[in-house]
Chains A and B, each alone.
Chain A
Amino acid sequence: MEFTIPDELLYEESHEWVDEGDGAVRIGITDFAQDELGDIVFVELPSEGETLERGDEFGLVESIKAVSDVYVPVAGTVTETNDEIIDRPELINEDPFGDGWMIELETTDTVDHLLDADEYSEQI
């Protein structure tokens, strides 16, 4: 099966993506991850203002099949959460890199440890 892996994003091995953007980084789970989980029915997100270390669980994605923790790929402070996915968790299935994004962080962390699209593609 072919999965979408946008070239402009960075990836954590645990299937989160990071969009460095201009200011805060945006984070979500990949097309591969949403496909593995199947129909997503419930999402938990952190509070705005919460400070997270790299590798911390920042939320949870639950599908009919399984529950999966989601880990923050870079350290930072949560500046915004996508509350739309609380009411419509299926947005993660439908548009994991767009409307299904999860949180934004203000970060001073490096991104050297993250995978580029080619490296992530080889992993999955």
Chain B
Amino acid sequence: MSLQKPPLSQVHQSAGADFTDFGGWEMPVTFDSIRTEHAAVRNAVGIFDVSHMSEVSVSGPDATELMNILTTNDVRTLEDGDAQYSCILDSDGVIIDDIVIYRYPDREGYLFVPNAGHGTQMVDRWSSTASRRELSVTVEDRTMETGLVAIQGPGAIETVDSIGTGSVADLSRFSSMRTEIDGVDCLVARTGYTGEDGVEIFFPSAESTAVWNAFDGVQPCGLGARNTLRLEAGLLLSGQDFDPETEPRTPLEAGLGFVVDLEKPEFVGQESLREQNENGVDETLVGLRVEGRSIARTGYPIEVDGNEIGHVTSGTLSPTFERPIALGYVDSSYADEGTSVDVEVRNRTVEATIIDQRFLESLEPETTED
């Protein structure tokens, strides 16, 4: 199967990017080096092409009801322009995808962003549920006609303000507005997935080059740095930290209980989650501070006294802290912060400690003391 290329593919090639397959899309993995790009986002500003993410538009009289049935958070709390992180579950409560829902600032309806390659599946899910329940909605896959870039870092807002027509400085976290960038009508949202301040900008995909070039001089960043940045922030990666086939997890196991509203009238997976909420979870997601220099990678066993108590789902060498960090699931009885565990790294036993998965906060004090 040939890979889908983003509209900016040629621009990235000219910039000397290396590419990787991500959700069926050929996306830039690095432009310079992961360290350089990572540091740019932590210390200044970087731009990511995230056009591989899917976009689905939902409108019509019953749009809110449908969104609320198919997602875990309460969509009814959203005002015009608000955004919300949420999960989509199967009837067993297993996460199919995590999404950000945007209630349009200037018109009726919602835009939501599933992970790369999931758009068609989501449109089918939304359409079939609407049909079964006789709800009046229009569901459209906007993936191919929508471009998306993320501008992230402490200098992101200033950078966007120097280019766009309307200031985003007063835009609060998880809200959006319309602005123009180089004459292109854009939806700018104060969201992102790097642990930094910043925005994500939606625009017609045919205008991708104009928007990208408007940020000329900003460090271009690939999916390599996006991975190290999101991991340091303790943010999960679909297909790796949860996946309905290879890593079936509920939001309660995955530490995403904060996006689940068990009190709202109804959503797919609600009963299973209620049960799990009452009984507790057998396994839970934890952060790991790993000793030494070798990286604890996906699938490596986590052990205590030689007994396997879990496994790693994501690991990297944190460019910010210069030490390996990882996410993994462990038996809940071992999940307390400060618990000493071992990770089997290529037949070697490496010591690790369970810590808060928000590494940017949980590792900072120790590094400062050093």
A interface residue numbers (CB < 8 A to B): 1, 38-39, 41-42, 60, 62, 64-65, 67, 89, 93
Contacts and interface: CB of A to CB of B under 8 A. Distances in A.
Contacts of B346: 60, 67
Nearest to A87: B293
Given A64-B224, A64-B228, A41 B293 contact: yes
Contact of B33 (A38, A42, A60, A89): A38
Contact of B34 (A65, A67, A89): A65
A39 B295 CA distance: 13
Contacts of B297: 67
B293 A64 contact: no
Nearest to A36: B18
A67 B293 CA distance: 13
B16 A1 contact: yes
Nearest to B316: A64
Contacts of B228: 64
Contact of A39 (B35, B293, B294): B35
A13 B316 CA distance: 28
Nearest to B20: A65
B29 A65 contact: yes
B30 interface: yes
B317 interface: yes
Nearest to B33: A39
Interface string B208-238: 0000000000000000100010000000000
Given A38-B33, A39-B35, A41-B317, A64 B16 contact: no
A41 B224 contact: no
B294 A64 contact: no
A42 B29 CA distance: 20
Interface string B317-352: 101000000000000000000000000001000000
Interface string B19-48: 000000000011001110000000000000
Given A1-B16, A38-B224, A41-B317, A62 B295 contact: yes
B319 A64 contact: yes
B30 A38 contact: yes
A56 to B, nearest CB: 16
6 contacts: A38-B34, A39-B33, A39-B35, A41-B293, A62-B295, A64-B317
Contact of B294 (A38, A42, A93): A42
A93 B34 CA distance: 13
Nearest to A93: B33
B288 to A, nearest CB: 16
Contacts of B294: 42, 62
Given A39-B33, A64-B316, 7 more contacts: A38-B33, A38-B224, A39-B34, A39-B319, A41-B293, A42-B293, A64-B295
Nearest to B30: A38
A75 B185 CA distance: 64
A64 B223 CA distance: 12
Interface string B279-296: 000000000000001110
B22 to A, nearest CB: 13
Contacts of A62: 294-295
Contacts of A39: 33-35, 319
Nearest to A86: B293
Interface in B105-135: none
Contact of B224 (A1, A42, A60, A65): A65
Given A39-B35, A64-B228, A64-B319, A89 B293 contact: yes
A60 B33 CA distance: 20
A1 B224 CA distance: 19
Contacts of A1: 16
Contacts of B29: 65
A93 B35 CA distance: 12
A63 B16 CA distance: 20
Contacts of A93: 33
A18 to B, nearest CB: 26
Contacts of B16: 1
A84 to B, nearest CB: 14
A96 B346 CA distance: 25
A60 B294 CA distance: 11
Interface in B137-182: none
Nearest to B323: A41
- 10 closest Cβ pairs, A-B complex: A41-B317, A42-B293, A42-B294, A64-B34, A39-B35, A39-B34, A39-B33, A64-B317, A64-B316, A38-B34
